[in-house]
Chain A
Amino acid sequence: MWNYLKRLYHKMGSPKWFYDISNKWLPWLIGVGCLLMGVGLVWGLAYAPADYLQGNSFRIIYIHVPAAIVAQSCYMLMAVAGLVAMVWRMKIAFWVMRAAAPIGVSVTAIALFTGAIWGKPTWGTWWVWDARLTSMLILLFLYFGVIALYNAIEDDELANKAGAILSIVGVINIPIIKYSVEWWNTLHQPATITLTKKPTMAPEMFIPLVLTIVGFYCWFAVWLILRTQNEILWRERRTKWVQQVTNHVL
């Protein structure tokens, strides 16, 4: 098992191998992702019962929570990729980071935006500077920071390293986001879904939420693979295999 994982890890380092294998994953991820998102959203938005207190406005949870979870996962993925890239100098890990940063910005922005829309009718305010909301805003700025480093530093290798270091250091923000609602008094409520306890949500509302979360992860994977493939094709554009794949000789 260990040897298999080790072999897989080494193969992952090969851009061509990654390009080929991820091409095989794509149709599955797209299919499963669309199916889960479709079922989850229709179920959640149309068939799940309204909340006893919030009425229909709670339904934004089916976008807000998946976006917020993926926003944090995406950052952790960038931090792990950054570590792998810095320690093993695996170039494809640098490229995955470049591909992931703009996705992270988008999903974090979606989470903040849907949260504000929900906050207005529920709390009575769009925004409040509590620990959860502020740490999530910091996550958005960390993503912006990584992208800014890529654009500001002309030397690609240096830019990659700078982005990796910021990603690794910024991962400290992730536990802060997660535990902000427990460590401090916040307006944002504590977690509804935890790994250790039963969710504090009725099952007919909870199951569609799980579907949309898994579906959102699939879509995130599709998006990340497509962007990484682009990165690979561009950076390996002078190699024979890319010219064969794209039917384009430079």
Chain B
Amino acid sequence: MHPQRKQRLLIILFVLAGIGIAVGLMLYALKENINLFYTPTQMANGEVPADRLVRAGGLVVVGSLQRDPNSLLATFKVTDGVAEVTIQYSGILPDLFREGQGIVAMGKLNAQGVFIASEVLAKHDEKYMPPEVTHALEQAHKDGKQDLESARD
């Protein structure tokens, strides 16, 4: 390679590497701010300031959803597998909201450790499949359980 071209190439690569490292360090320093939501573990550890508008995210605990019969108030728990936090929300939940689904809620943590949400968003995972497949999976799951139970009897 022509020495002049080689020099130009090296300069560009060095500049790119330098800026890359700078951006990398910046993003690392801002890690907490770039995260969209706090996990229930972070809330349990007291990393979340009380009475400040933040986002909380996690999976809705199966069997935890309670709806108030006289209003739109819904109470449910979310988990990240380690800790759980109770969320209260008054409003229309998104279509994809179900138990076991990932959600992100915006709101404030009150003194009792209950998260009062003003907005609930459903988080979608990376899996896509036709309804028959999920049906078959559920069926297989049930059959497996029955087999287990009958084996136990």
Measured between C-beta atoms, what is the minimum distance from A179 to chain B in Å? 10
Does B126 belong to the interface (CB within 8 Å)?
A: yes
Let me know if A87 and B12 touch, CB within 8 A.
yes
Within 8 A of A (CB), among B2-36: 5, 8-9, 12, 15-16, 19-20, 23, 27, 31, 34-36
Contact string against B for A residues 40-58, beta-carbon threshold 8 Å, 1 for contact and 0 otherwise:
0000000001111110001
Q: Which of A103-111, A151-159, A184-192, A224-232 contacts B (4 or more CB under 8 A)?
A: A184-192
Measured between C-beta atoms, what is the minimum distance from A206 to chain B in Å? 8
**How far is A202 from B127 in the complex, measured between Cα atoms in Å?**
8
Greatest chain B CB density within 10 A among A49, A184, A205 is at: A184
Measured between C-beta atoms, what is the minimum distance from A59 to chain B in Å? 10
Q: Which of B45-53, B64-72, B129-137, B142-150 contacts A (4 or more CB under 8 A)?
A: B129-137
Interface size on B, residues (CB 8 A): 37
Let me know if A200 and B121 touch, CB within 8 A.
no
**Interface size class of chain A, counting residues whose CB lies under 8 Å from the partner chain:** 35 or more
Q: Which of A30-38, A92-100, A117-125 contacts B (4 or more CB under 8 A)?
A: A117-125
Let me know if B23 and A192 touch, CB within 8 A.
no
A176-B27, A187-B123 known; A130 vs B8 contact (CB < 8 Å): no
A169-B15, A172-B23 known; A185 vs B39 contact (CB < 8 Å): yes
Task: Give chain A's interface secondary structure class.
Answer: loop
Let me know if B127 and A200 touch, CB within 8 A.
yes
Other-chain residue from A87, A124, A125, A172 in contact with B16 (beta carbon distance below 8 A): A172
Does B74 belong to the interface (CB within 8 Å)?
A: no
Does B43 belong to the interface (CB within 8 Å)?
A: no
Measured between C-beta atoms, what is the minimum distance from A80 to chain B in Å? 12
**Subset of 8 A-B contacts with CB under 8 Å:** A52-B129, A54-B124, A87-B9, A122-B94, A184-B31, A186-B36, A202-B129, A204-B130
Q: Which residues of B pack against A, CB within 8 Å? A: 5, 8-9, 12, 15-16, 19-20, 23, 27, 31, 34-37, 39, 57, 94-96, 104, 119-134
Q: Which residues of A pack against B, CB within 8 Å? A: 49-54, 58, 61, 83, 86-88, 121-125, 128-131, 168-169, 171-172, 176, 183-187, 189-192, 200-202, 204-205
